[in-house]
């Protein structure tokens, strides 16, 4: 049920926008009562956090030994592309969430911690420490690269995501 709720919320977000949908709308789309929804997720923020965790889980490899044979830049490239692949079924819904978060800085700030946690995990999987001052700077830099790449990805309708990959590669080279 939790994945179904997240999927329903993102489907509605693609149609109505994230800010416009309510918990009642999400429950109805998921075929649940409000009480059933409340038992799993108590807010739209929790639903969004569940989606981010699901994407994080998809990005984390079972065995990262193969990944560690690559350069740090190539590892980050692979991880960001895995992240985009995991989000692809809900691309329009994700775009609506990002658009609405961008328009509401207070709400975006509330979700910054979840976002930065994802960046920390991608750094750790890439073999780059995310702790301490240096790690914070790395995470912020990766976050900027990731958000910039998202903007390109939202507009990239090519089957091979060539524009997205080229943009990501260019940005990672610049910060390398």
The string of pLDDT tens digits covering residues 81-107 is: 999 999 999 999 999 999 998 888 888
CA atoms of 61 and 53, how far apart (whole Å): 14
pLDDT tens readout for residues 33-48 = 999 999 999 999 999 9
What's residue 61's pLDDT?
Answer: 75
What does each C-alpha distance from 11 to 51, 69, 91, 92, 139 come to in angstroms? 12, 38, 10, 8, 29
Residue 31, SS3 per DSSP: coil
CA atoms of 21 and 43, how far apart (whole Å): 12
Residue 176, SS3 per DSSP: coil
What lies within 8 Å, CB to CB, of 14 at 6+ separation is 90, 92, 93, 95, 96
pLDDT tens readout for residues 147-159 = 999 999 999 999 9
Cβ neighbours around 154 below 10 Å, total = 16
Residue 126, SS3 per DSSP: coil
64 pLDDT more than 70: no
Give Dmax over CA atoms of the chain in angstroms: 49
- Interior angle at CA 135, CA 126 and CA 100, nearest 5: 85
pLDDT band at 69 (very low <50, low <70, confident <90, very high): confident
pTM above 0.85, yes or no: yes
Looking at per-residue confidence, does 63 or 48 come out higher? 48
Return the exposure string of 22-31: e unless at least 16 CB atoms fall within 10 Å of the residue's CB, then b.
ebebbbebbe
């Amino acid at each position: 049920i939790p994945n179904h709720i997240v999927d329903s919320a993102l489907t509605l977000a693609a149609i109505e926008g994230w800010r416009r949908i309510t918990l009642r709308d999400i429950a109805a789309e998921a075929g649940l009562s409000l009480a059933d929804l409340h038992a799993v997720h108590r807010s739209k923020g929790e639903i969004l956090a569940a989606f981010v965790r699901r994407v994080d889980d998809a990005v984390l490899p079972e065995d990262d030994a193969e990944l560690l044979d690559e350069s740090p830049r190539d590892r980050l490239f692979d991880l960001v592309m895995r992240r985009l692949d995991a989000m692809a079924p809900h691309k329009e819904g994700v775009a609506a969430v990002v658009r609405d978060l961008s328009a509401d800085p207070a709400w975006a700030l509330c979700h910054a911690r979840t976002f930065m946690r994802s960046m920390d995990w991608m750094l750790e999987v890439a073999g780059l420490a995310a702790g301490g001052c240096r790690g914070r700077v790395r995470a912020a830099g990766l976050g900027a690269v990731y958000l910039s790449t998202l903007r390109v990805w939202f507009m990239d309708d090519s089957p091979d995501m060539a524009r997205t990959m080229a943009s990501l590669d260019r940005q990672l080279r610049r910060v390398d």
